[in-house]
Amino acid sequence: MSAPLLQVNDLKKHFPIRGGIFSTVTGYVFAVDGISFTIEKGETLALVGESGCGKSTVGKALLRLFDLTSGQVVLDGQRIDQLSNSALRPLRRRIQVVFQDPFSSLNPRMKVRDILAEPIHNFGLLTDKADIDKRVGDLMEKVGLRRDAIDRWPHEFSGGQRQRIGIARALAADPDLIICDEAVSALDVSVKAQIVNLLCDLQQELGLALLFISHDLAIVEHMTHRVAVMYLGKIVEKGTRDDIFRAPMHPYTRALLSAVPIPDPDIKPNRIILKGDVPSPMKPPKGCRFNTRCPYVFDRCKSEEPKLEILGHKHRAACHLNDLPPDQNPMLNEALRV
Ligand code: SF4
């Protein structure tokens, strides 16, 4: 089996909190606290969880927008987490990003032609102006926009069209992996579906890998190969789409899934309402981080942190309930959908 395109090992990002007149470190925000995952060539991995769980920090860490606290990021067999900016420069082309907000992510003072030509020029992919113009036109068509619209300004496009331009800009660098950071969250429902379909088509056509960061499991279900569920800086469950959507083995995953609307009116969701708010990432709870909100919490959960245990070929979950015999596991005795 070939090595994965991206391998993340025990990634941590702790942001220092400074205070006092000497700006001394008084604590840390444990935004990402030891997560590991892989993405194969041409594969989509969805990273899901509530707002503030650390999933966007993972995306930024992979883009090396800041230094990691610890851990390894390996791209196509090469460690990139410790490379200097100059050594990293040629590799930056290979990981691109599409941001959430199609209105603020495009420079309003640049025409679309220049927005799309910039990465081509910066990464030295083409130098001849006619070649660049042709490539920019091709990119517009690839994302479903007219090639003669390249001399328009970003404000002349709708939100969905701007997100298409954002995708074209990511493609312009000829990447292997695109990080979609809540890339459809700000769009209307119908436009959301169009953009997701476009991403799926492009993935198949170009063999791209996608890291799809989202809080919206309804969108993820239709487009991902594998899912990793994050809670308070940790991955609490990961597996194939079927593992996560058909046989979730962590109470947090089940709570997230119970909130997904079901199109069939004959099926009633068994909605799991979590109590309380997500604890502060500055002071995560001892033991299992989910213990302050978990409907099945028991003594062991408050003292011992559960590890991600193997439940199936690619299925892993971090919950002490999975050590119990199935007939004594209260979570398994409650149907998700009734
Ligand atoms: Fe709930 Fe305990 Fe499992 Fe954590 S380890 S998810 S608190 S049952």
Position 24 in a domain: yes
Q: What is the per-residue pLDDT for 54? A: 94
Stretch among 239-248, 256-265, 321-330 having the lowest mean pLDDT: 256-265
Position 114 in a domain: yes
Minimal-distance CA residue to ligand 1 atom 7: 291
As a whole number, the mean pLDDT across the chain is 93
Position 303 in a domain: no
Which residues have C-beta within 8 Å of that of residue 199, sequence separation ≥ 6?
167, 178, 180, 183, 210, 212, 223
Amino acid at 191: V
281 CB under 6 A from ligand 1?
A: no
Q: How far is ligand 1, taken at its centre, from the CA of residue 107, in Å?
A: 45
Could you give the CA distance from residue 315 to residue 247 in angstroms, rounded to a whole number? 10
294 CB under 6 A from ligand 1?
A: yes
Q: What is the per-residue pLDDT for 338? A: 45
Position 164 in a domain: yes
Stretch among 1-15, 67-81, 254-268 having the lowest mean pLDDT: 254-268
The answer to whether the beta carbons of residues 44 and 209 sit under 8 Å apart is: yes
Q: Give pLDDT tens digits for 42-95.
A: 999 999 999 889 999 999 999 999 999 999 999 999 999 999 999 999 899 999
Binning pLDDT at 50, 70 and 90, where does residue 3 land? confident
Position 314 in a domain: no
User: Which ligand 1 atom sits closest to the C-alpha of 298?
Assistant: 2
Could you give the CA distance from residue 154 to residue 254 in angstroms, rounded to a whole number? 40
Q: How far is ligand 1, taken at its centre, from the CA of residue 302, in Å?
A: 9
Structural domain including 242 reads 6-270
251 CB under 6 A from ligand 1?
A: yes
Position 330 in a domain: no
Q: Give pLDDT tens digits for 121-174.
A: 999 999 999 999 999 999 999 999 999 999 999 999 999 999 999 999 999 999
Could you give the CA distance from residue 259 to residue 273 in angstroms, rounded to a whole number? 9
**CATH number, domain containing residue 70:** 3.40.50.300
* Domains held by the chain: number: 1
Position 12 in a domain: yes
Position 167 in a domain: yes
